[in-house]
Amino acid sequence: MGGSECCLKCLSGIPYASLIATILLYAGVALFCGCGHEALSGTVTILQTYFDVVRSPADALDVFTMIDIFKYVIYGVAAAFFVYGILLMVEGFFTTGAIRDLYGDFKITTCGRCVSAWFIMLTYIFMLAWLGVTAFSSLPVFMYFSIWNTCQNTTLLESSNVCFDLRQYGIVSISEEKKLCTASENFIKMCESNELDLTFHLFVCALAGAGAAVIAMVHYLMVLSANWAYVKDACRMQKYEDIKSKEEQELHDIHSTRSKERLNAYT
C-alpha cells in the first residue's frame, strides 16, 4: 500500500501540461529540422541535375551557400530548443503544487517570480519567431507545389510550353538565365524521378513541424501564465501567513506578560 501511495504521489507531481507542450515542441522541432534538412539536400540535387545550376566560387554568395547556412541554422535550432524544452519542464516541476505537498513548504522568492516572468517573455518571442519560420517555410512549399502540380498535369499541357524561370524566385541572379520548360527532356526526367515528389512532401512536413512548434509555444504560454498566477497567489498567501503568525505571536506574548503580571500581583 505504501508503494502505491508513493507512486501516486510521484505521478501527481508531474506537470502534465508542460509535458504535453514539451512533447509537441520536440515533435515539431524534430519534424522541421529533419525534413527541412533533407528537403534542402534534395533541392541542391534538383538544381544541379535538372536546372543546370553550378556552384559559384567559394567567396561568392549563391543559392548553395545559402542552403548550407540554412542547414547550420537547423542544427542550432535543434540543439537550442532541446535545451529550452528541458528548462521549461524543470520550471513546470518547480511550480507544480503537488511538488510542494511532496517536499513541504518552500519560500517563494523574488528570483522565482522573475524567472517565471522571464520564461513568459522568452516564450512569447520564440512564438513570434516560429510564426516567421512557418511563413518562410510556406515559400518553398508554394514553389514546389507549382512544379509538382505541373508535372501531374503534363498531358493537359502538351499543346503549350510552360517554363519555370529561377530568376522569378530569386534563386539565381538576373543575369543568369536558368529556365526549365515542360517540353524539355530535363523536365520530363524530373517529373519521372522520385526526387521532386520526395522533396516537395519533405517541405510540407517541415511546414507542419513549424506549425506544431507554434502550437507548442502557445501551449507553453498558457502553462507559464498559469504558473505565474500560482506563484503570485502563493506569494500573497505566504505574506498573509507570515503576518498572521506574527500577530499570533504578539498576542501570545501579550497574554504571557499579563499572566505573569497577575501572578506577581497575587504573590
Q: What is 71-112 written as a DSSP string?
A: HHHHHHHHHHHHHHHHHHHHHHHHT-HHHHHHH------HHH
Stronger pLDDT, 100 or 14, i.e. the higher one? 14
164 sits in which H/E element: strand 163-165
Is pLDDT above 50 for 98? no
Residue 26 corresponds to which cell in the numbers above? 520536440
Residue 146 corresponds to which cell in the numbers above? 507549382
**Residues 120/221, Cβ–Cβ less than 8 Å:** yes
CA distances from 111 to 2, 152, 227, 232, 266 (A): 36, 59, 14, 12, 54
Instruction: Encode pLDDT of 11-62 as tens digits.
Output: 666 778 888 999 999 999 999 999 999 999 999 999 888 888 888 776 677 8
Q: Are strands 179-181 and 163-165 parallel, antiparallel or unpaired?
A: antiparallel
Is pLDDT above 70 for 10? no
